[in-house]
């Protein structure tokens, strides 16, 4: 509803924690579960070797989770025969299980205690790595990146490639969260180079393929994704294999292959429930809800959407929840249940905005930590140069005054250069903050900043009881343009449509890209009729001017309008009303303007009828000749 171009939000929340809890298994060189004698379980408690059971439990964490929990419970009942190192090992496994269950609030202090108290460097390193994931999940992004950067600085001194593996997996996942996909893919390749087979190779394939998927879908050949699945299955890591399948199904849904997505998800669904990993369960439920909605089966879509709400980790706001609420809103709207439709739409808007806020926070945290580290290095270099100058001045005698002054002048020049670099670094930080508000393709407001600016504008006009109108725009048959001419031409079409709109809008109008080929315009101090005139102007202009490099691609757009006169000053209500109008415009043939108002007559301007509103009107859209 309201456009087919809903973009994929980055990143699925479960991806970050998933490998962090998985890679902790690999840091010790331990035998697989099958390599430990079955009679281990048959001995009496007094004859069991605690270290052997700890190692076994460690190996079973993700592959046979129920058995891992039973072993953990058994070990916790009798700790009298354990050494201090074994007790620390047990505390780590307990902290790992707390994190795995989604209780990040209690897992964080357990892991920090291990980092501060454990005398085992490897165990402390494992706790550090899992903590990075907890910090990422709980929104402490700057702290997570700071700890990770320190670990990466220490990585060259780590001789054990298994330990480096853990650093690289953490780096790949956090960099994917921050949108640094090429760096993340490179770390995945390094892991696979060190470990061509086995559990670590499985992790390497996952981080590489997931970063690639988040960057631009399934850029790699299908056999490469299948290769990653096969490696994970051979290593008895079905959870990771099913996470790769999740990305493949997500891609299928984005490309309108709902049947293939539903079949793939259903094939792994029973296994996913057995993992008892809430994030992945929620992701599967949300994707199944979307797949069945796209297949035209609202009953099953609603069923899986409700499952997703039940399996979600309390307090998380992520893409699966956003997708779930959107499906439920669409189902309720189709049923005519406007009360629930509005409630679900409000939840959708809240989770979507929260997720966008978190995505921006991750990107900003990465950039700020990186620049802070660069600034610290520059400040350290500056202090070193100052010390050199002082030492040189003290060591100068009367025979070396001339030479010393020349050297001092050179050092002062270097110092000035460092100061200038710090100034440019600060300016780049401010520039980055501005870019974070803009859509990278069209340079207009992104969805989050559009919402912020539109809400602020609505508050302003509400104080003086003036009118405002919201216009939603969706380019017609845009997928066909992408499929026929390619995404590069599709991007040109989007930029051209934006340029046409900017040609006619006022500087006070709030214009943003909401996702894919859908745009929003908030027209302050503009009533319903003037908003319709403005929308008709834009519609006619877009339809009249071809797009693409050769200017031979005919495009059109559908418009939905809602006004504060009928729907109040709450942005979420205006969005819901305008989205309903946009849906009617698409349903009734596209390339038209529909107003959502209390009256229903004369609210459509069809391209086949003479327009009452000329392209060069001066009612609200600006005249480009002025």
Tokens of 496: 């051209």
The whole-number average pLDDT for the span 427-448 is: 72
The DSSP code for 313 is: P
The whole-number average pLDDT for the span 34-52 is: 52
- Reported as a single tens digit per residue, the pLDDT across 240-282 is 999 999 999 998 898 889 999 999 999 999 999 998 888 899 9
- Beta-sheet pairing, 468-475 with 518-524: antiparallel
Which residue, chain included where needed, has tokens 């979600």? Answer: 312
The whole-number average pLDDT for the span 15-27 is: 47
The whole-number average pLDDT for the span 393-400 is: 57
104, pLDDT greater than 70: yes
pTM higher than 0.85? no
Is 447-605 in the same CATH topology as 140-252? no
Could you state, in order of their start, the residue ranges of all structural domains in the chain? Answer: 30-139, 140-252, 359-435, 447-605
The whole-number average pLDDT for the span 233-242 is: 91
Whole-number Å distance between alpha carbons of 583 and 493: 22
Whole-number Å distance between alpha carbons of 446 and 500: 18
- Beta-sheet pairing, 557-563 with 593-595: parallel
The whole-number average pLDDT for the span 399-409 is: 63
b/e map of 19-34 (b: 16 or more CB within 10 Å)?
A: bbbbbbbbbeebeebe
- Reported as a single tens digit per residue, the pLDDT across 162-192 is 667 877 887 888 788 777 888 888 888 888 8
Residue 230: per-residue pLDDT: 94
b/e map of 76-86 (b: 16 or more CB within 10 Å)?
A: eeeeeebeeeb
Confidence of residue 618 (pLDDT cuts 50, 70, 90): very low
Q: Which CATH class is domain 30-139?
A: mainly alpha
Q: Is the dihedral of CA 371, 377, 378, 380 positive or negative?
A: positive
- Reported as a single tens digit per residue, the pLDDT across 320-369 is 888 999 999 999 999 988 888 888 888 888 877 776 666 666 666 666 66
Q: Check if the beta carbon of residue 393 is closer than 8 Å to that of residue 207.
A: no
220, pLDDT greater than 50: yes
603, pLDDT greater than 50: no
Residue 397: per-residue pLDDT: 54
- Bigger pLDDT: 278 or 511? 511
565, pLDDT greater than 60: yes
Confidence of residue 616 (pLDDT cuts 50, 70, 90): very low
Confidence of residue 61 (pLDDT cuts 50, 70, 90): confident
Confidence of residue 396 (pLDDT cuts 50, 70, 90): low
Q: What is the percentage of the chain residues whose pLDDT exceeds 70?
A: 71
SS3 53: helix
Range with lowest mean pLDDT among 188-192, 206-210, 404-408, 508-512:
404-408
- Bigger pLDDT: 521 or 115? 521
- Bigger pLDDT: 400 or 159? 159
Q: What is the percentage of the chain residues whose pLDDT exceeds 90?
A: 30
Residue 602: per-residue pLDDT: 41
What does CATH list as the number for 140-252? 1.25.40
607, pLDDT greater than 50: no
Whole-number Å distance between alpha carbons of 85 and 122: 11
Residue 612: per-residue pLDDT: 28
Please, what is the average pLDDT of the chain? 78
Confidence of residue 498 (pLDDT cuts 50, 70, 90): very high
Confidence of residue 214 (pLDDT cuts 50, 70, 90): confident
39, pLDDT greater than 60: no
Residue 507: per-residue pLDDT: 87
The whole-number average pLDDT for the span 104-116 is: 85
**What DSSP string describes 146-177?**
HHHHHHHHHGGG---HHHHHHHHHHHHHHHHH
Range with lowest mean pLDDT among 49-58, 145-154, 574-583:
145-154
Residue 217: per-residue pLDDT: 56
b/e map of 393-404 (b: 16 or more CB within 10 Å)?
A: eeebeeeeeeee
Topology of domain 447-605 in CATH is Alpha-Beta Plaits (3.30.70)
Confidence of residue 380 (pLDDT cuts 50, 70, 90): low
- Bigger pLDDT: 165 or 511? 511
Range with lowest mean pLDDT among 281-295, 353-367, 584-598:
353-367
């Amino acid at each position: 509803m309201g456009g087919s171009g809903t973009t994929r939000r980055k990143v699925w929340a479960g991806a970050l924690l998933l490998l962090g809890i998985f890679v902790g298994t690999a840091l010790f060189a331990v035998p697989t579960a099958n390599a430990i004698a079955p009679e281990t379980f048959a001995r009496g408690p007094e004859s069991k070797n605690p270290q052997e059971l700890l190692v076994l439990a460690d190996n079973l964490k993700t592959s046979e989770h129920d058995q891992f929990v039973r072993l953990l419970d058994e070990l916790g009942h009798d700790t009298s025969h354990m050494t201090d190192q074994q007790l620390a090992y047990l505390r780590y496994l307990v902290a790992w299980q707390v994190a795995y269950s989604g209780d990040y609030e209690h897992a964080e202090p357990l892991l920090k205690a291990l980092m501060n108290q454990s005398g085992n460097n490897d165990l402390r390193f494992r706790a550090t790595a899992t903590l990075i994931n907890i910090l990422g999940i709980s929104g402490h992004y700057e702290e997570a990146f700071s700890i990770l950067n320190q670990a990466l600085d220490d990585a060259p001194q780590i001789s054990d490639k298994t330990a480096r593996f853990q650093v690289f997996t953490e780096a790949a996942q956090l960099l994917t969260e921050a949108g640094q996909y090429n760096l993340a893919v490179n770390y995945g390749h390094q892991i696979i180079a060190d470990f061509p087979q086995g559990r670590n190779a499985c992790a390497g394939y996952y981080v590489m393929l997931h970063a690639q998927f988040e960057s631009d879908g399934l850029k790699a050949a299908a056999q490469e994704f299948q290769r990653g699945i096969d490696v994970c299955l051979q290593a008895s890591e079905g959870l990771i294999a099913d996470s790769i399948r999740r990305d493949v199904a997500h891609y299928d849904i984005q490309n309108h292959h709902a049947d293939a997505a539903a079949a793939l998800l259903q094939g792994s669904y029973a296994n996913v429930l057995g993992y008892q990993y809430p994030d992945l369960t929620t992701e599967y439920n949300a994707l199944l809800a979307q797949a069945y909605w796209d297949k035209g089966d609202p009953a099953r879509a609603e069923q899986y959407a409700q499952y997703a709400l039940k399996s979600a980790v309390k307090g998380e706001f992520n893409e699966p929840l956003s997708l779930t609420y959107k499906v439920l809103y669409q189902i309720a709207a189709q049923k005519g249940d406007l009360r629930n439709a509005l409630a679900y739409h409000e939840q959708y808007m809240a989770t979507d905005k929260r997720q966008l806020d978190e995505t921006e926070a991750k990107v900003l945290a990465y950039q700020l930590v990186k620049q802070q580290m660069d600034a610290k290095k520059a400040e350290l270099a500056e202090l070193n140069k100052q010390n050199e100058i002082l030492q040189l001045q003290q060591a100068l005698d009367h025979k070396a005054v001339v030479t010393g002054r020349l050297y001092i002048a050179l050092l002062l020049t270097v110092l000035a250069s460092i100061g200038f670099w710090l100034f440019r670094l600060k300016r780049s930080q401010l520039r980055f903050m501005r870019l974070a508000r803009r859509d990278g393709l069209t340079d207009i407001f992104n969805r989050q900043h559009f919402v912020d600016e539109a809400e602020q504008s609505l508050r302003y006009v509400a104080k003086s009881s003036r009118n405002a109108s919201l216009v939603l725009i969706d380019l017609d048959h845009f997928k066909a343009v992408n499929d026929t001419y390619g995404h590069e031409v599709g991007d040109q079409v989007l930029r051209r449509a934006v340029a046409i709109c900017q040609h006619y809008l006022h500087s006070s109008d709030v214009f943003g890209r909401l996702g894919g080929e859908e745009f929003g315009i908030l027209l302050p101090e503009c009533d319903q009729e003037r908003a319709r005139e403005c929308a008709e102007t834009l519609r006619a202009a877009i339809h009249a001017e071809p797009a693409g490099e050769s200017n031979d691609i005919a495009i059109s757009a559908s418009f939905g309008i809602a006004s504060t006169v009928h729907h109040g000053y709450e942005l979420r209500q205006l969005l819901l009303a305008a989205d309903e109008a946009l849906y009617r415009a698409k349903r009734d043939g596209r390339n038209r303007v529909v107003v959502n108002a209390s009256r229903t007559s004369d609210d459509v301007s069809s391209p086949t009828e003479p327009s009452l509103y000329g392209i060069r009107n001066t009612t609200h859209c600006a005249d480009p000749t002025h």
